Amino acid sequence: MKTIRIGFLGLGTVGSGALAALTAEREAIARRVGAELLPVRAAVRDTERHRAVDTTDLELTTDTMAVATADDIDVVVEVIGGVGIAREAVIAALSAGKSVVTANKELIAKHGLELFALADKHHVDLAFEGSVGGGIPIIQPLGSGLTANRVKQVVGIINGTTNYILSAMTRSGQAFDDLLAEAQAKGYAESDPSADIDGHDAAYKLTILAMLAFDTAVSEEQVCREGISSITPADITLARNLGYRFKLLAVAKDRGEKLELRVSPCLVPETHPLANVNDVFNAIFVEAAPVGQVMFYGRGAGADPTGSAVAGDIITVARNLGRGGQRSYPLGFSGHRTVATVDEIESSYYVRMRVADRVGVLAELAGILGSHGVSIAQVLQTRITDDLTAGLAELVWITHDTTEANIRASLATMDGLDEVVDICNVFRCFGVDA
Amino acid sequence: MKTIRIGFLGLGTVGSGALAALTAEREAIARRVGAELLPVRAAVRDTERHRAVDTTDLELTTDTMAVATADDIDVVVEVIGGVGIAREAVIAALSAGKSVVTANKELIAKHGLELFALADKHHVDLAFEGSVGGGIPIIQPLGSGLTANRVKQVVGIINGTTNYILSAMTRSGQAFDDLLAEAQAKGYAESDPSADIDGHDAAYKLTILAMLAFDTAVSEEQVCREGISSITPADITLARNLGYRFKLLAVAKDRGEKLELRVSPCLVPETHPLANVNDVFNAIFVEAAPVGQVMFYGRGAGADPTGSAVAGDIITVARNLGRGGQRSYPLGFSGHRTVATVDEIESSYYVRMRVADRVGVLAELAGILGSHGVSIAQVLQTRITDDLTAGLAELVWITHDTTEANIRASLATMDGLDEVVDICNVFRCFGVDA
């Protein structure tokens, strides 16, 4: 039986997970590939460090570039992360004619086009299933099984940290700051949590999904991005009462002339499959013709799930090597779609405000929305009974689809009125007009 | 640009859907494949019949075998169904060195091994994504992206007709017979509904999933199978009150020494992702190591979804043709796992019975369960207040996991008691001990 030799760049959480997966099912995998997959070498920062995975049969080195270009390695697995040495090493490996597997979302989002062209030039594979959705197979289905479809939208819950915090806020009624601290204590959030809670991580992943779904080059800088830190327990409760759950949604939508790319907290109707994706689970919902609605659900991060995706890619790449090193599917991204600006984004909205509890206020505010072309789907008015704010009412509007520009213009007009004490929060809603 | 020529065997619902998909996105597909896909000929029963899809550019013939073996056809798409002429034609096409795409669950379940061996011998593809789960990509993920995993269980809602009826029963409280008639009127159920409601359709699909997941040869005759016609509105309501939804589940589970294969109505906890898969939607839930839990959700039948899967397979096969006709992944099914008999099946159970409303009855019955090693998870006792059955109580037991043999022995003992008026219904539960 032929042997395919694997070199790892990095051996942290994801690398260890992939190595463990290859080792645990070695015989079954050899049978399924028709060749033995042999991890031979790993480039790591510290060769002496104790690791969660058995590295006895592995040569450890600190020389990343040497592993990337070694003559005796057939497949290079990049699990360093970031776009410094990881990018250099992947370029070197592809240029040396090696197929590459990576789970690096930032690398693919920022430099995918360059790397795909390089892989194409050298007739090798560049596989990146682990870059989005952890263990969920989504890259391959989008690039292969669903490829007869015209995609209308891809909507993902693709960041586990924010979904864990939002699920906990919904269950417990606790505030964002408290639950962030809890998530940090449990290891579900980084000590600097900005990449997750401000939506950067999700924006990278959305960029990759959009490239695949719409066959076009896009950049993560084109993603309109908002984080989850402004959501209060009051918003969570009101959303629940109106039949919604808060989720950080990553949306890539074909609006005909333009593509809409956005990551923002959204109210999702509790009957929608995405509403019940909780804790560290991820899901990617695809709406396309002719397939209709499909959803992919699973664990979005961690050594085991992402290790499964990376090991699956290694197997795919190894199978292709056995057939002459051809690519699984072409990734040219030949389209050049224009991306909508934030003002052009269309969505329905949730607006919470405090207003004077007087005759005619509701009618006046509804009139302002109407004059800006904003149609109302749901309204909830509640008297505020605490001592400090007696005489005020809390108003929540859920609108039908409108543009961000229209909603902003409406709110600017309202904000100038004496009757409007404050506009507490504004969020997008998903699926109200579905 | 190269042209890959497609011949259709059959042009009914699924064939028309696939043809429409290939036509609608012709240019995008050509770009993604690197070759033009050209449907050239279709074998149909009646060449004069009006069809939902435009067949202007297609040569229609009644000679199935001629299309299957035609020199000018590269890919044969079998969408006739059944195992008569469909099997003969697929054998002829593979033997003639043509790659074959099929959506025929019965053909793959019954003759998959023979056909995979033939495809292997002739170095061609045999793709069958459309055979399970309509438009949901599940065959390719199981055979490729998840293939580094050891599968523990595959649990599917893979029959749209029964899921439509059970969803409607849950919503409306109406009886099975009424809703079956409604489903037939809407075209969601056949005039002879047995293939769906008795679980034959799901058993074929489960056989295919089990072959892929456990890399073993199994037969649909080894699937323990029960239909949904015995479920009453009373069971639906009681299940709801206890926090469950009825679903027809297809389960393939690795029990270590043996595989368990079963299709039966099950009570699913309302918090489980499968509980919220309603109407004609399908879902396949996979539990595996290291990936954990993943679920695939979408429309399980119909021209458009299944057409998407068949067209996706045509694209995959065409890409492989461009690289010398190699297979997407090997399908040897080298394992030979033993399948558990119905007595050996392990599950938790729902038992509904009517008993005399007397002191000590509950304790006596609980004692009988205990003496057979059956542990109780939930009990619900209700007084029956109608005139005819006054003095009786209705008892519902939900057990922890036990064998079918144990539950049957317990019920046989109970059935002999004066206090037990009748054992109304027994169903399996899913996920109680998860």
What residues contact residue A50 under an 8 Å CB cut-off, 6+ apart? none
Number of A–B residue contacts, CB under 8 Å = 191
Place of tokens 């990509």: B137
Would an 8 Å CB–CB cutoff place B147 in contact with chain A? yes
pLDDT tens track for A7-40: 999 999 999 999 999 999 999 999 888 899 999 9
What residues contact residue A306 under an 8 Å CB cut-off, 6+ apart? A13, A14, A17, A18, A103, A130, A134, A135
Q: What is the ipTM of this complex?
A: 0.94
Phi-psi region of B400 (alpha: psi -120 to 50; beta: other; left: phi over 0): beta
Q: Cα–Cα distance between A401 and A375 in angstroms, integer?
A: 8
Exposure of A151 by Cβ count < 10 A (0-12 exposed, 13-18 middle, 19+ buried)? buried
Cα of B2 vs its chain's centroid, Å: 37
Tokens representing A383?
């008297």
Q: Which CATH number fits the domain B2-131+303-321, given the four candidates 3.30.43.10, 3.90.120.10, 3.40.800.10, 3.40.50.720? A: 3.40.50.720
Superfamily of domain A342-429: ACT domain (3.30.70.260)
Closest C-alpha among A32, A144, A27 to residue B331:
A32
Mutate one of B147, B215, B279, B323 to test the A interface: name it (highest A CB count within 10 A).
Answer: B147
Would an 8 Å CB–CB cutoff place B291 in contact with chain A? yes
Residues 204-223 of A with CB under 8 A from B: 215
Place of tokens 């959705």: A133
What number is the average pLDDT over the span A250-271?
A: 96
Q: Cα–Cα distance between B105 and B417 in angstroms, integer?
A: 46
Q: Please, which pLDDT band fits residue B129 given cuts at 50, 70 and 90? A: very high
Q: Cα–Cα distance between A348 and A377 in angstroms, integer?
A: 9
pLDDT tens track for B335-346: 789 999 999 999
Domain boundaries, chain A: 2-132+303-321, 139-299, 342-429
Q: For chain B, what percent of residues have pLDDT higher than 70?
A: 97
Q: What's the fold here for domain A2-132+303-321? A: Rossmann fold (3.40.50)
pTM across the whole model: 0.95
Q: For B225-242, give one letter per residue: b (16+ CB within 10 A) or e.
A: bbbbbebeeebbebbeeb
Q: Are A108 and A143 within 8 A, CB to CB?
A: no
Q: What is the pLDDT of residue B34?
A: 87
Closest C-alpha among B352, B424, B419, B421 to residue B389:
B421
Q: Please, which pLDDT band fits residue B12 given cuts at 50, 70 and 90? A: very high
Same fold, A2-132+303-321 and A342-429: no
Residues 59-98 of A with CB under 8 A from B: none
Signed CA dihedral, A274, A277, A278, A279: sign only: negative
Distance from the Cα of B310 to chain A's closest Cα (Å) equals 9
Give the three-state DSSP class for A57: coil
Residues 115-134 of B with CB under 8 A from A: 129
Q: Are B130 and A290 within 8 A, CB to CB?
A: no
Exposure of B190 by Cβ count < 10 A (0-12 exposed, 13-18 middle, 19+ buried)? middle
**Which of the following is catalytic: B110, B205, B247, B253?**
B205
Give me the amino acid identity at B287: E
Give the three-state DSSP class for B255: coil
Exposure of B1 by Cβ count < 10 A (0-12 exposed, 13-18 middle, 19+ buried)? exposed
Q: Cα–Cα distance between A415 and A266 in angstroms, integer?
A: 23
Instruction: Give chain A positions within 8 Å (CB) of B312.
Output: 144-149
Q: Is A2 a catalytic residue?
A: no
Q: What is the pLDDT of residue B387?
A: 66
Superfamily of domain B139-299: Dihydrodipicolinate Reductase; domain 2 (3.30.360.10)
Q: Please, which pLDDT band fits residue B321 given cuts at 50, 70 and 90? A: confident
Using only C-alpha atoms, what is the Rg of chain A?
A: 24
Q: What is the pLDDT of residue A34?
A: 87
Q: Which residue of B has its CA nearest to A282?
A: B294
Would an 8 Å CB–CB cutoff place A142 in contact with chain B? no
Q: Please, which pLDDT band fits residue A225 given cuts at 50, 70 and 90? A: very high
Q: What is the pLDDT of residue A1?
A: 83
Tokens representing A34?
């028709």
Exposure of B285 by Cβ count < 10 A (0-12 exposed, 13-18 middle, 19+ buried)? buried
The reply to whether residue A148 touches residue B34, judged by beta carbons under 8 angstroms, is: no
Q: Which CATH architecture has domain B343-429?
A: 2-Layer Sandwich (3.30)
Q: What is the pLDDT of residue A106?
A: 97
What number is the average pLDDT over the span A166-171?
A: 96
